[in-house]
Amino acid sequence: MCGIIGYNGMSNAENILIKGLKNLEYRGYDSSGVALMNEDKIHIVKSEGRLAFLEQKLKSKNILSDMGIGHTRWATHGKPNEANAHPHTSQDRKFTVVHNGIIENFPIIRKELEKKGYKFCSETDTEVIPQLLSYHYHGDIKDAMQKTFVSLEGSFAAAILCKDDKDTIYVAKKASPLAVGRGNRENFISSDVGAIAEYAEEAVFLDDGEFAEIRKDRISFFDFNLKEKEKEFLKIAITPEDLTKGKYEHFMLKEIYEQPEKIKNLLKSKIKNNKIFLDEIAELSLEIMKAEKIYIVACGSAYHAGLAGKIAIEEMCRIPVEVDIASEFRYRNPPVNEKTPVIIISQSGETADSIAALRLANSKGSFVIGIVNVLPSTIANESDYVIPTKAGREIAVATTKGYLTQVCALYMLALHIADIRKTLTDESIRFYTEELLQIPDKISEILSDTSEIKTLSQKYSCKNDFFFIGRNTDFAVASEASLKLKEISYINSSAYPAGELKHGTIALIEKDTPVFALCANERLFKKTLSNIEEVISRGADVLCISQKGQIDKEKYNALEIPHCTDIFLPLLEIIPMQLFAYFVAENKGCNIDMPKNLAKSVTVE
Ligand code: G6P
């Protein structure tokens, strides 16, 4: 997804902007550009394709500047070419803008401006912003900003340079994230706080309907009525190690290997008297007692984490749970109210559909618990209560540790709620807590020897269509395993509840169709085994994923994982599946950390 970076300080802006854009690369992009202010003018340099092309162009121009803005574009309106790349300027070259989000009423604005004689050079929605700024500008930049941004529908995080003010970057924000970072006589902006973490000491996110003026030694905030506001800066909690691959070939592999430690730290921080206690939601006991149903709402892998969470919450807390895809939930008029808490799960905290779902739930009186990794972020800021997943910065587009910590946080939440509602005995809570505490070592055991998975990946890399089947917890994992394979190796695959296959989809099974049968769930093992037989008899090439000693390895191809109580199986069973997807993508020479067409944080709906 698009990324914004901005710098105003004493150093060479070009270097800092390029570094910032590199930090944003992982989000996915197809073109990039910068605008650098110096004494003569605003210099704009743009390029299609990789950032290295932009870097080369900039080097040859040798522009001296200590203030500028930059952008990586992920095409929405208009092809990914140089003309459509940001920054965009007004016809009179007064205003230069980079923008994330979508201006929904841009066709009407563009038509009106064209009638007034304005000429447009791109197909983008963004170009209406500098043109409109120029139209409304009569010597007062903030006045022009107010008139422009209140007339825009949709979402925007925009950074603006104006020729008439060579010392300031102006920003505006609605429904698309924008952070302002503060350093020592140098200030920054970014759509992703991680991109400025190595420079800025502290940061604050703009709220919807806010402007900011970024000078070298001063930052001022305003609402859309131009009333000045105070905002509190927070220390940025990202370490330099988070930003490098270390000894690993890819960020994805590094992040897979970080999982035992991340789960261990998450659990340890919440154990009191051999029980899980989530202090973040300590004051929620009354509302939790009254809860009649829980909604879990998320996108992508976070939605799959929700599938695992549903099973645990229903089993342990005896509350019905509905898991919803955020882009569906937000337009469905769901019957949520003060008795239906809504859990929003998001690694980035910035997914547009999840933010919209959160706001809808809030407007209907539900209290919202955000399970979020990136803090601060919009979802963390707007949730009534936040459970941080503490996975650290996740760079690979395909989530691994982000997903796993979400699942773990949901289990912790289930145990916390079960304790409050007394739906589990103290003894059971202790049993589950101890089981959870053993998970990190079991993940390490899987990670300690990946040779079998590597060999399997060689066998399967040439296949085109995969099925992942399973029941209950196994199905929750199958859904995520299938997505991982699709995302990074571009192999078509579907996840199916094993018992549902026979109602149509089994027609697709033929000789050598690869079927990964997740059958580790002890309670349903025999049931899944019948489904395995059904596909084997139709010629499928089946690989079972089972607990150690569970399956007859003479008879079935099986990949074994350490023993674990059924409910927590997703925390283990997904590990070999993440590795499998990784090795297949490696065998196929795919761009593992930045798969085509995908973005780390999807800030448009
Ligand atoms: C994108 C990413 C997925 C992620 C989903 C939800 O599609 O590519 O990996 O699961 O967004 O992201 P979130 O940040 O809300 O967890």
The pLDDT > 70 percentage for the chain reads 100
Q: What is the mean pLDDT of residues 309-328?
A: 97
The atom of ligand 1 lying closest to the CA of 599 is: 8
Compute, in angstroms, the gap from residue 601 CA to the centroid of ligand 1.
6
Q: CB neighbours (10 Å) of residue 164?
A: 11
Q: 230 versus 81: which is more confidently predicted?
A: 230
For residues 55 and 323, give the distance between their C-alpha atoms in angstroms, rounded to a whole number. 45
Q: What is the pLDDT confidence band of residue 316, given thresholds at 50, 70 and 90? A: very high
For residues 434 and 411, give the distance between their C-alpha atoms in angstroms, rounded to a whole number. 13
Question: Minimal CA–CA distance to 431: which of 415, 420, 445, 444?
Answer: 415
Say which residues have a Cβ less than 8 Å from residue 282's Cβ, sequence separation at least 6: none
For residues 93 and 524, give the distance between their C-alpha atoms in angstroms, rounded to a whole number. 67
**Cβ(489)–Cβ(585) under 8 Å?**
yes
For 228-270, where are the E strands, in sequence order?
Answer: 228-229, 234-235
- Cα distances (Å, whole numbers) of residue 471 to 66, 281, 311, 564, 570: 58, 32, 11, 16, 12
For residues 449 and 452, give the distance between their C-alpha atoms in angstroms, rounded to a whole number. 8
pLDDT score, position 240: 66
Q: What is the pLDDT confidence band of residue 1, given thresholds at 50, 70 and 90? A: confident
Q: What is the pLDDT confidence band of residue 543, given thresholds at 50, 70 and 90? A: very high
Q: What is the mean pLDDT of residues 537-555?
A: 95
Q: Is 327 in the pocket of ligand 1 (CB under 6 A)?
A: no
How buried is residue 283: exposed, middle or buried, by Cβ count under 10 Å (0-12/13-18/19+)?
Answer: exposed
**Cβ(453)–Cβ(576) under 8 Å?**
yes
Residue 44 tokens read as 């704009």
230-239, 247-256, 349-358, 534-543: least confident range: 230-239
- Pairing of β 3-8 and β 67-73: antiparallel
Evaluate the omega torsion of the peptide bond into residue 87 and state whether it is cis, within 30 degrees of 0.
yes
Compute, in angstroms, the gap from residue 398 CA to the centroid of ligand 1.
8
Q: Is 391 in the pocket of ligand 1 (CB under 6 A)?
A: no
Q: What is the mean pLDDT of residues 460-477?
A: 96
**Cβ(163)–Cβ(87) under 8 Å?**
no
Q: What is the pLDDT confidence band of residue 271, given thresholds at 50, 70 and 90? A: confident
Compute, in angstroms, the gap from residue 597 CA to the centroid of ligand 1.
13
| pLDDT, the chain, mean | 94
Confidence check: pLDDT of 241 > 90: no
For residues 469 and 466, give the distance between their C-alpha atoms in angstroms, rounded to a whole number. 10
Q: Is 266 in the pocket of ligand 1 (CB under 6 A)?
A: no
Name the β-bridge partners of 515: 467, 542
Confidence check: pLDDT of 312 > 90: yes
Catalytic annotation on 2? Answer: yes
Instruction: Please write the tens of the pLDDT for every residue from 12-28.
Output: 999 999 999 998 887 77
pLDDT score, position 458: 96
CA dihedral 546, 551, 553, 559 (to 10 degrees): 0
For residues 307 and 179, give the distance between their C-alpha atoms in angstroms, rounded to a whole number. 32
pLDDT score, position 599: 78
Residue whose CA lies nearest to ligand 1 atom number 2: 600
Compute, in angstroms, the gap from residue 555 CA to the centroid of ligand 1.
38
Residue 245 tokens read as 């691959």
The pLDDT > 90 percentage for the chain reads 83
pLDDT score, position 242: 77
Question: Minimal CA–CA distance to 474: which of 579, 547, 418?
Answer: 547
Instruction: Please write the tens of the pLDDT for every residue from 365-423.
Output: 999 999 999 887 889 989 999 999 999 989 999 999 999 999 999 999 999 999 999 99
Confidence check: pLDDT of 194 > 90: no
Instruction: Please write the tens of the pLDDT for every residue from 497-513.
Output: 999 998 988 999 999 99
**Phi first, then psi: what are they for 378, rounded to 5°?**
-60, -45
pLDDT score, position 597: 80
- Pairing of β 294-298 and β 321-325: parallel
Residue 222 tokens read as 């305003």
Instruction: Please write the tens of the pLDDT for every residue from 20-63.
Output: 999 888 777 889 999 999 987 999 999 998 899 999 999 999 89
Q: What is the mean pLDDT of residues 83-105?
A: 95
Q: Which H or E run includes 583? A: helix 570-587
pLDDT score, position 454: 97
Say which residues have a Cβ less than 8 Å from residue 558's Cβ, sequence separation at least 6: 543, 544, 545, 546, 551
This prediction has a pTM of 0.81
Rg (CA), the chain: 25
CA dihedral sign, ordered 49, 51, 57, 61: positive
pLDDT score, position 381: 87
Q: Is 347 in the pocket of ligand 1 (CB under 6 A)?
A: yes
How buried is residue 61: exposed, middle or buried, by Cβ count under 10 Å (0-12/13-18/19+)?
Answer: exposed
- Pairing of β 321-325 and β 342-346: unpaired
pLDDT score, position 408: 98
Local structure of 395: helix, strand or coil: coil
